[in-house]
Amino acid sequence: MKAIRVHAFGSPEVLKLEEISDLAPGPGQIVVRIRAAGVNPVETYIRSGIYGARQFPYTPGSDAGGIIESVGLGVAANPGDRVSVTGSLTGSYAQLALCTAMQVFPLPENLSFAQGAAIGVPYGTACRALFTRGGATAGETVLVHGASGGVGTASVQLARHAGLRVIGTASTDRGRQLVRDQGAEHVLDHSDKNYLQQLMDLTNGRGVDLILEMLANVNLGKDLTVLAKRGRVVVIGSRGPVEINSRDTMSRDADIRGMSLAHADERERVMMYMRMGTQFAAGTLKPIVGQEIPLAEAPRAHEAVMKSGSHGKIVLVP
Ligand code: NAP
């Protein structure tokens, strides 16, 4: 089979398409034929080496949509089943991936394989940030700070469905239209110097109850000034240090809460994806795929996912 292999940390060009051995499932394992693989920013951080040591060579990627190719002893699923994958033993930037049974979920007929590849990290992150860490409840106002990408579009859909009032941000007209289409009541431009004043005007000076923050190194200090009393910021993304005025937390009893999807244990993950599965099947959650890029062009996908002008999820097609 063909797979992207990384032999050393470095720029996107270290992602090489190579021929490697096919996979066979052991007991409790599933081999999935990948029809689309999700590209997440974390895969660029790992590739560049900032997350530390790694065994080489490796195949990147955790998310995918595809079809079960073969199953090991004790697995209830069947070859031919359509599935969405999140996490795998061998990496999803490939024609085949070896997974545990807990990493594979049914993909409803109404979703494409590319949409199946846009579920794992984005919806798991959005769900955990909103509800597990953010404590979101119906009637609250949430700012999805960076709403046009994979996690942002998922967050807007989940928050709307849970009865929150959603304000989103994006830096392009196309991105802002996408966020509006997902159900945000208002969409602001995070590259406009007046957007936080506009946010305060939209909430009649009260501020928002919850902020899902995609770029805390740029925004955390500002976030604290637009929170309502007892507001919470959930830090989802951060690419460096940031200075804050801690008095801004005191004056509103505010919380800054970190969130990493990696801290969800197997039980929490299975519960999250099974619960969201009914919403995917019902059509109330619809993953947004902005770009489909051939697997061989994985370097281009890694460049694209780090650029602004996001429009949903980028997926690789083997
Ligand atoms: P993505 O698809 O590349 O989207 C990035 C988002 O950030 C876009 O909406 C983009 O908007 C927005 N953005 C860019 N500049 C911004 C600014 N100055 N202020 C606010 N937003 C800004 O990435 P993603 O998959 O949604 O992931 C988002 C972030 O969360 C990444 O940093 C990622 O590493 C992190 N993440 C963390 C976890 C976790 O477990 N903690 C899990 C998944 C992702 P425009 O392009 O419209 O400017």
Amino acid at position 297, single letter: E
β-strand partners of 99 = 30
> Three-state SS for 180?
helix
40 lines ligand 1 (CB under 6 A): yes
Is residue 241 reached through a cis peptide bond, with omega within 30 degrees of 0 on the bond before it? no
Q: What is the pLDDT of residue 298?
A: 98
Angle at 44 between CA 40 and CA 48, to 5 degrees: 165
63: number of CA atoms within 13 Å, CB side? 27
Q: Is 110 exposed, middle or buried (0-12, 13-18, 19+ CB in 10 A)?
A: exposed
State whether the beta carbon of 287 lies less than 6 angstroms from ligand 1: no
Tell me how many degrees the CA angle 86-92-96 measures, rounded to the nearest 5.
Answer: 115
Which tens digits make up the pLDDT trace of 165-207? Answer: 999 999 999 999 999 999 999 999 999 999 999 999 999 999 9
Angle between helix 298-305 and helix 41-48 axes, rounded to 10 deg: 110
Neighbours of 51 (CB within 10 A): 11
Q: Return the sign of the alpha-carbon dihedral for residues 74, 78, 83, 89.
A: positive
* Dist. CA 309–CA 4, nearest whole Å: 26
What span, in angstroms and rounded, lies between the C-alpha atoms of 102 and 32? 13
Would you place residue 4 in the very low, low, confident or very high pLDDT band (cuts 50, 70, 90)? very high
pLDDT digits (tens, 9 = 90+) for 97-155: 999 999 999 999 999 999 999 999 999 999 999 999 999 999 999 999 999 999 999 99
Q: Are 289 and 269 in contact (CB under 8 A)?
A: no
> What's at 185, amino acid-wise?
E
Residue with tokens 């062009």: 297
**pLDDT score for 219:** 98
* Alpha carbon distance 267, 154 (integer Å): 21
Give the pLDDT confidence of 224-272 residue by residue, as tens digits. 999 999 999 999 999 999 999 999 999 999 999 999 999 999 999 999 9
Q: Is 175 in the pocket of ligand 1 (CB under 6 A)?
A: yes
pLDDT of residue 303: 98
Q: How far is the CA of 171 from the centre of ligand 1 (A)?
A: 12
Q: Name the residue of 145, 214, 272, 306 whose CB sits within 8 Å of the most ligand 1 atoms, as the mutation to test its pocket.
A: 214
For the stretch 270-284, pLDDT in tens is 999 999 999 999 999
